[in-house]
């Protein structure tokens, strides 16, 4: 019997600091485009718990004041390194504490003005998230 496949629920988080800059890093999973940290929702975990856990795992940062910015769907996007169907819950959150220590999923992090970030090589999902973040004036 063939295994049923289901979409993966994921979170992405724009982290902003007191200087009104956002955190981005490059990901090999997204062909080295700049993106926000995030990942898969685990069984029994809330979206907020997932966001905080993924940020800690990928960046060593702690966040607070989590706010939903938008939702997106990626079905077999060529921008991702594997054929996947994702449902993204995209948030913004204020940096609470921590020193950046990237895990093996991310490289070359930076803090950047959100409007300047739109000039970088971004995947389309990160670009839309940043545009929504700027439009909603989340800072």
CATH 3.90.79.10 is right for the domain spanning 8-135 = yes
Which position has the token pair 């921590």?
98
How far apart are alpha carbons 51 and 38 in whole angstroms?
6
55, 13 Cβ separation under 8 angstroms: yes
In the block, which residue shows the tokens 């490289």?
107
Of 43, 56, 44, give the one whose Cα is nearest residue 93: 56
Q: List per-residue pLDDT tens for the chain, 139 residues long.
A: 678 888 999 999 999 999 999 999 999 998 999 999 999 999 999 999 999 999 999 999 999 999 999 999 999 998 889 898 999 999 999 999 999 999 999 999 999 999 999 999 999 999 999 999 999 876 5
pLDDT for res 49: 98
């Amino acid at each position: 019997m063939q295994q049923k496949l289901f979409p993966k629920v994921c979170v992405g988080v724009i982290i902003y600091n007191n200087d009104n800059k956002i955190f981005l890093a490059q990901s090999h999973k997204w062909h080295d485009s700049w993106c926000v940290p995030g990942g898969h929702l685990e069984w029994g975990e809330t979206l907020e718990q997932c966001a905080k856990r993924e940020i800690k795992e990928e960046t060593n940062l702690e966040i607070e004041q989590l706010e939903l910015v938008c939702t997106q769907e990626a079905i077999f996007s060529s921008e991702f390194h594997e054929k996947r169907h994702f449902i993204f819950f995209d948030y913004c959150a204020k940096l609470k504490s921590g020193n950046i220590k990237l895990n093996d999923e991310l490289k070359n992090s930076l803090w950047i003005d959100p409007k300047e970030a739109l000039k970088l090589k971004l995947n389309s999902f990160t670009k839309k998230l940043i545009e929504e973040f700027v439009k909603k004036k989340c800072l």
